Amino acid sequence: MKIGICTGGGDCPGLNAVIRAVTRHAILNHKMDVYGIQDSLNGLLCDPPAVQKLSLPDVAGIIDKGGTILGTSNKGSPFKDPQKGAEAKAKAFKNWQALGLDCLIVVGGDGTQRMALQLHDAGMPIIGIPKTIDNDYLATDISIGFMTAVDVAAESISRLHSTAEAHSRVMVAEVMGRDAGFIALHAGIAAAANVILIPEIPFDFDAIVRAMDDRRKRGRNFSVIVVAEGAREQGKDPMFRKSSTGSLHLGGIAGEVASKIHQKTGIDTRVTVLGHIQRGGSPVTIDRILATAFGVHAVDLAAQKKYGRVVGYRGGQIGDIGYDEFDNGTRAISLTDPYLRAAESIGICLGR
């Protein structure tokens, strides 16, 4: 068999670990040829296709490397426009046939998996592997990259306590996650944040001020607040910033929270936006292990010709689910999530 692999969407730690696992298992145990498609699905849209055959030496020493040796893209779907999209799909299909690939393993979040599903529906056998630091892809309880982002964010936020205490300030740290608060909630708990604000619970400034007051009464004249980039005040919309190319990105809420808290309490505040630090660098061990297990499972699916399925970790097991068996989109933190309860039970204010 000949299989292809590509990485799509925003990069995250663990992508190289999954490329390595797929390549090694496919070559060592299934005698497959493995082809790396460059820059997400874009590698199939150019003439000639941007593809490289992967050998064992190509994937040696990369389990701990950030980024992706195959490149990636998160510039939106080439299949969006009905006319151009149909042409792009036809081109991808033609190139895929010319390369003689039996299937394509697509490593990506919800956006990339939606594009992959369109190719699958057009006749190209696809197997999906979920990755996203946001941890918001529905097919899995945990995605490659999430644990590293949490670790990096928690380590950084922990460092804010001592400087907050030294200056009697409120430090507001903004973390990524799009419309889901998984990074904020998990990193906030791990870093002993005093307040965690997530998109799933629109916040009330009065509740935050009450939390600051309670702390002051106990002699704690400083606080650390973690706010997800997609969080919003009750009755307001999330905040967006323009990138260099003019596209809109969630962000800016930490500045808003910091200035409102200063206005309402007079406490000196500072803002830290963690940004792409959460996505860069070496994956933590759990991401390397998850990426390896996901990669191996995907190759086993390919060997059994079980296409149109997404690998995932659900209910404590590595398994797979058909694209047709779930809504191929995102999830958010459920209001009955045990980690929310744990946070509030130990006195963390969730802005309500």
Q: For residues 106 and 103, what is the distance between their CA atoms, to the nearest angstrom?
A: 10
Residue 61 Cβ vs ligand F6P, minimum distance, rounded to whole Å: 26
Phi, psi (deg, nearest 5) at residue 344? -65, -35
- Listing DSSP states for 208-227 in one string gives HHHHHHHHHHTT---EEEEE
Nearer to ligand F6P, 215 or 232 (CB): 232
Determine contact, residues 108/40, Cβ cutoff 8 Å: yes
To the query of whether residue 134 is one of the catalytic residues in this protein, the response is yes
Nearer to ligand F6P, 10 or 125 (CB): 10
Q: Applying CB under 6 A, which part among 22-30, 161-169, 171-179, 313-321 lies near ligand F6P?
A: 171-179
Nearer to ligand F6P, 99 or 183 (CB): 183
- Listing DSSP states for 156-200 in one string gives HHHHHHHHHHHHT-EEEEEE--TT--HHHHHHHHHTT-SEEE-TT
- The answer to the question of residue 249 lying near ligand F6P (CB under 6 A) is yes
- The answer to the question of residue 174 lying near ligand F6P (CB under 6 A) is no
- The answer to the question of residue 131 lying near ligand F6P (CB under 6 A) is no
Residue 312 Cβ vs ligand F6P, minimum distance, rounded to whole Å: 17
- The answer to the question of residue 134 lying near ligand F6P (CB under 6 A) is yes
Nearer to ligand F6P, 42 or 95 (CB): 42
Q: For residues 5 and 156, what is the distance between their CA atoms, to the nearest angstrom?
A: 33
84's torsion region: left (phi>0), alpha (psi -120 to 50) or beta? alpha
Residue 181 Cβ vs ligand F6P, minimum distance, rounded to whole Å: 11
Three-class secondary structure of residue 41 per DSSP: helix
Determine contact, residues 41/78, Cβ cutoff 8 Å: yes
- The answer to the question of residue 176 lying near ligand F6P (CB under 6 A) is yes
- The answer to the question of residue 132 lying near ligand F6P (CB under 6 A) is yes
One residue of 4, 14, 36, 177 binding ligand F6P per CB under 6 A: 177
- The answer to the question of residue 133 lying near ligand F6P (CB under 6 A) is yes
Q: By beta-carbon distance, which residue lies closest to ligand F6P?
A: 176
Q: For residues 118 and 124, what is the distance between their CA atoms, to the nearest angstrom?
A: 9
Three-class secondary structure of residue 325 per DSSP: helix
Q: Applying CB under 6 A, which part among 32-40, 81-89, 127-135, 188-196 lies near ligand F6P?
A: 127-135
One residue of 20, 89, 131, 178 binding ligand F6P per CB under 6 A: 178
Residue 278 Cβ vs ligand F6P, minimum distance, rounded to whole Å: 7
- The answer to the question of residue 144 lying near ligand F6P (CB under 6 A) is no
Determine contact, residues 270/258, Cβ cutoff 8 Å: yes
Which run of H or of E encompasses 120?
helix 110-121
8's torsion region: left (phi>0), alpha (psi -120 to 50) or beta? beta
Q: For residues 255 and 271, what is the distance between their CA atoms, to the nearest angstrom?
A: 6
Show the binding pattern over residues 72-111: x = contacts ligand F6P (CB under 6 A), - = does not.
--x-------------------------------------
- The answer to the question of residue 250 lying near ligand F6P (CB under 6 A) is yes
Q: Applying CB under 6 A, which part among 21-29, 174-182, 209-217, 316-324 lies near ligand F6P?
A: 174-182
Q: For residues 237 and 230, what is the distance between their CA atoms, to the nearest angstrom?
A: 9
Number of chain positions touching ligand F6P (CB under 6 A): 12
Give the active site residue among 11, 39, 134, 136: 134
Q: For residues 256 and 204, what is the distance between their CA atoms, to the nearest angstrom?
A: 13
Q: What residues are annotated to the active site?
A: 134
| Contact set with ligand F6P (CB under 6 A) | 10, 74, 132-134, 176-178, 229, 249-250, 279
